[in-house]
Amino acid sequence: MGTFPGQLILLLESRIDDEHRVEFYDTVLDSLRQVLEEISDVANRTLPEIEARNPGYYEQFLEVVNKPYIIEAFPRTLEIQQDDQYKPSVKKRLPTFNEEESDKCMSYMMGSKIRGHDTKEVRCTITDRCWSLVTIPDTSAYVITHQLLYTVLAEHVGCTNELNSYARQQGFLEGVPGMQRRLCSSILSQAEFLARNGPPQPEQDLFMEQAVVCGMLGYTNFLRPDWLQKVMTWQRPGGCFGKEDPEEEKDELVEQLHSLPFHAHNYHGNIEHWVKTRSPTGRRLLVERLMRADYQPTDPRPPVHSQNLRIVGRRSRTLADRADDQPTKADHSRPSHRTTPNHGGCLSHKSGLGTALLAMYARAMMDPAFGWEGAQY
């Protein structure tokens, strides 16, 4: 999505009075204008290539990529009660909001053509099925962020009034703003859980997506100095975001094991040797199993909760990622999240989230309405 240019546009269009203007302010804005021009140039050169590689997806999601996301939300904060804190060991409702369903619901909202259909959908269409999916309670990870993105997309394509009306008919009297607040409250507790535990490399993409989708709605809880420091350490030398070196990932997981509860170290076998010799997926599974507060060392195989923040299936993907897919008939076995590896270890989806998030931080730092200097969490 065009969150990065959207945040720059909002910053450049903000009115900062002389009292809050610092000496280097105009110089920074000039640099940001140049960045925005370069982004537009790159996008104009990239979109035709994406269209050529996968015309169907390009046509279906054109509204997502052909203009910046400009959500004019005022800065605000969320309050989380102690009882609302995320507990990964508590059973959650199993979601069914998979990639195919999500794509269809977004196409109905945008009024685009669903793959396999001959005609475009009616713009701002909200089906009972889509509504039931975006209101599944107690979801987590990429499922809940895409429930929220559905409401953001409605605003992006001019369907907020229709979604508000439908929500109130279904008993959501607070409408879309109330839905977004409740979703972001849950997402915040999950993001704080991830932050307390790293997050480890496999969850960095999710952590940034959580901050982006709620940050664009003005929730400053997701824009914290210590979280920014985390994100900056994930940047590769060339400025993009991608996979860590495999050896670095192993060292990170070994270090994480040392901070686990005492009972976790009673797992049969040499944990550090296990981490360093198993596959990336196996290493991550072991750490996530042992991190569960209710894990008992007498269990022959530590259980993995189906709704831990690790998500096996659904993850969001960029249009560029999807363009790389080779269409197959009824291929349900392939992973539903793919992100394109580029030169230098860069990942397209993770880099898109990272740059969007950095743009949000730039706006928060320069716009006095955000109160960045006084923010304490």
d(CA 351, CA 159): 29
Place of tokens 């259980």: 303
Q: What DSSP state is assigned to residue 239?
A: S
> For residue 199, is the peptide bond before it cis, meaning its omega torsion is within 30 degrees of 0?
yes
d(CA 350, CA 372): 25
d(CA 246, CA 248): 5
Residues contacting residue 291 through CB under 8 Å, at least 6 positions apart: 88, 197, 260, 264
**How many C-beta atoms lie closer than 10 Å to residue 142's C-beta?**
26
Contact predicate 279/226, CB 8 Å: no
Instruction: Please state the φ and ψ torsions of residue 13, each to the nearest 5 degrees.
Output: -90, -10
Task: Return the pLDDT at 131.
Answer: 95
d(CA 106, CA 153): 8
Q: In DSSP terms, which residues pair with 341 in a beta bridge?
A: 347
d(CA 342, CA 337): 16
**How many C-beta atoms lie closer than 10 Å to residue 182's C-beta?**
15
Nearest C-alpha neighbor of 145 from the set 5, 315, 340: 315
> Which SS3 state, helix, strand or coil, does residue 67 take?
coil
d(CA 369, CA 377): 17
Give me the residue spans of the domains in the chain: 3-242+312-324+339-368
Q: How far is CA 93 from CA 138, 142, 188, in A?
A: 6, 14, 19
d(CA 138, CA 95): 9
- Residue-by-residue pLDDT tens, the chain, 377 positions: 577 777 877 777 776 655 555 666 778 878 888 888 888 888 788 888 888 888 888 888 877 777 777 777 788 999 876 656 666 655 555 556 777 888 899 999 999 988 778 888 999 999 999 999 999 998 999 999 999 999 999 998 999 999 999 999 999 989 999 999 999 999 999 999 999 988 988 899 999 999 999 999 999 999 999 999 999 999 988 888 987 765 544 444 444 444 443 333 334 344 445 445 555 555 555 555 544 434 344 434 333 333 333 332 333 444 444 444 444 333 332 224 445 556 667 888 898 899 889 988 988 888 878 877 545 54
Nearest C-alpha neighbor of 204 from the set 183, 184, 234: 234
Task: Return the pLDDT at 324.
Answer: 44
User: Between vectors from CA 252 to CA 290 and to CA 85, what angle results, nearest 5°?
Assistant: 50
d(CA 134, CA 111): 18
d(CA 228, CA 126): 37
Q: What is the pTM of this model?
A: 0.70
DSSP string covering 90-127: S--PPP---HHHHHHHHHHHHT-PPTT-SSPPPTT---
Contact predicate 336/321, CB 8 Å: no
284-304 confidence digits (pLDDT tens)? 555 555 444 343 444 343 333
Q: In DSSP terms, which residues pair with 242 in a beta bridge?
A: 346
Q: Which two tokens stand for residue 59?
A: 């046509």
